[in-house]
Structure 1
Amino acid sequence: MEIVCPACGKVYQIRDEQLSGTVRKARCKSCGRVFPIQKDPSQNKDPEEKDASFAFHESEPQGHAAPGPSEPPLPEDSSNTEEVETPADTDAPTVSDDQIEGPEPQAEQGRRDYAAILVLLAAIVALVVVSFLGIRNIDRDSVFRPLRSISRLTGFFEGKHTRSARKAHLKKGRQNTAYQEHLSRGHGYYRAKKYNAAIKEYTLAVRSDPGRYEAYYWRGQLFGLRKEYPRTIKDMHRVLRLNPAYTKAHRSLGWAYYEMGKYDEAIKALDRYIRSNPKDGWAFYERALAYHKKGKLEPALKDAKRACDLGFKRGCDVYKRYK
């Protein structure tokens, strides 16, 4: 099959077995022009016909003149049908296979893809094997030494915190043990009516753990029995600062204020206590006495009756006297 270069007019001879598709391309040895060729001989026209609808157009290389008149523009899609001229010269050179350009056969492309995949898999396997051998031969101590250092450093801070917490816990435990021992001995002396010894033990309990309120309360009670009412009032205020919900301190304050002749303060303290303990007959009896000292007979009579109704015998006696 004969083809002609549309740029320089060079004629070539190609074999049919060189064409594997409908449209192929060839490169001219003289001018380097790349042009498509048709396998169908009916598409090959005589160069003198110059069918404009199938002619090539491409900017001509310098130094080469195009045969015949100038050619019309090439359509944008060069994969469509193109003109191939068949000159009469049968002694035209033959186009070699490497000058014919076209799509790569799918079978060959598939073989290349498989080869690439196999090469990639072989590289991955080799990398894994080399890494494994390297890890086996590496000095593990040099690798894990920094990790152990970090672990020791972290453990140091954690251990320091733990030691501090342990010391605080042990100190608290010792304080709690000492506090409980002194408090228990103070209760023993209290029941035995050894009030001076009991006050000493309660004082030692307060010193061992000043953040607890029980020792203050019982020591204040004993101060009241010794008629040291200002010290009773001081300890009861400490109790309420440490534990505002411990309302028995208000009861003791009412008693101490009454004994000191501070009847208004006594009534206020007993009011706070009665709001939380409305069934304590002694509190109503003590408040009735305070009202009576202030000359308020009606509330005094009411409180005395309430104390009597709650079963407090001295409240009944006072009610009869006030009535």
Structure 2
Amino acid sequence: MGPRNYTGISEFQLLGFSEEPELQPLIFGLFLSMYLITVCGNLLLILAVSSDSHLHTPMYFFLANLSFVDICFTSTTIPKMLLNIQTQSKAITFAGCITQMYFFILFTGLDMFLLTVMAYDRFVAICHPLHYMVIMNPWLCGLLVLVSWILSVLHSLLHTSMVLRLSFCTEVEITHFFCEINQIIQLACSDTFLNNMVIYFTGMLLAGGPFIGILYTYSKIVTSIHGISSAQGKHKAFSTCASHLSVLSLFYCTSLGVYLSSAAPQSSHASAVASVTYTVVTPMLNPFIYSLRNRDIKEALMRFSGMVALKGSIVLG
């Protein structure tokens, strides 16, 4: 008798971080707070960029897109986890799990591509400053974002269609707080060799490729900064890259560490805890990293808050 088809599986069980009842309110409060900070911080950054004409430049256009993706990225996993804690249920339907996996892969890919595009933007700004506005014109900026979306959608569709061809038996417990693709594949009772090969190949191509591109652009940036004679000029050039480098380091180091450690089956629970860093903490910190280290963002936020306060006083008056 062959393995049962996936249509026999109606739902999966997301085990999350802990099954101890006394820890559930603490976990709920912690993740609800981080989620609200992430949404409010990134939304405020988007509103500041869109409302301030001084920030209608390629760098802040990409930053606003990154903030939007971070909101969607976090919203893919955290609300369902909070709902399960509130209802004291660990269940997620098969369709819901596949949908969550699809959007998680989509927004993870978008994060990587947008960070790569932002590295290219800094490369042009520092290495070709006189031609920056000509090269980074609105048409190219829109095209780069559109290509990032298309590649991410196709990448996510590929993995989702590969999972849909698998068969699942009776083991439906996922030792994670969301439907992570490696965890789902491990539950399949059919051959997963092709799925694993596709994951490794696309990982090297779509994660390794942008990472190599980022390293190349920053090697050129460092060379250009080294050629600047004045110390003030060097500091100004480097300060425009500091925020991007901070976000890059946080995202790539944590995500790479998680997926390297997930190769060991016994580390699945530890991997779930570590995944919080790049799925929740990094999107939450992005607006703070960019706003605290960027004078233009600070001034735009002050002007935006002043406009909101003025409108509020007019309405109250």
TM range (shorter): under 0.3
Question: What is the TM-score normalised by the length of structure 2?
Answer: 0.24
Q: Which has the higher contact order (CA 8 A, sep 6+)?
A: 2
Task: Give the greater-gyration-radius structure (CA).
Answer: 1
TM-score, normalised via structure 1 length: 0.23
Question: Counting helix residues as a fraction of each chain, which structure ranks higher?
Answer: 2
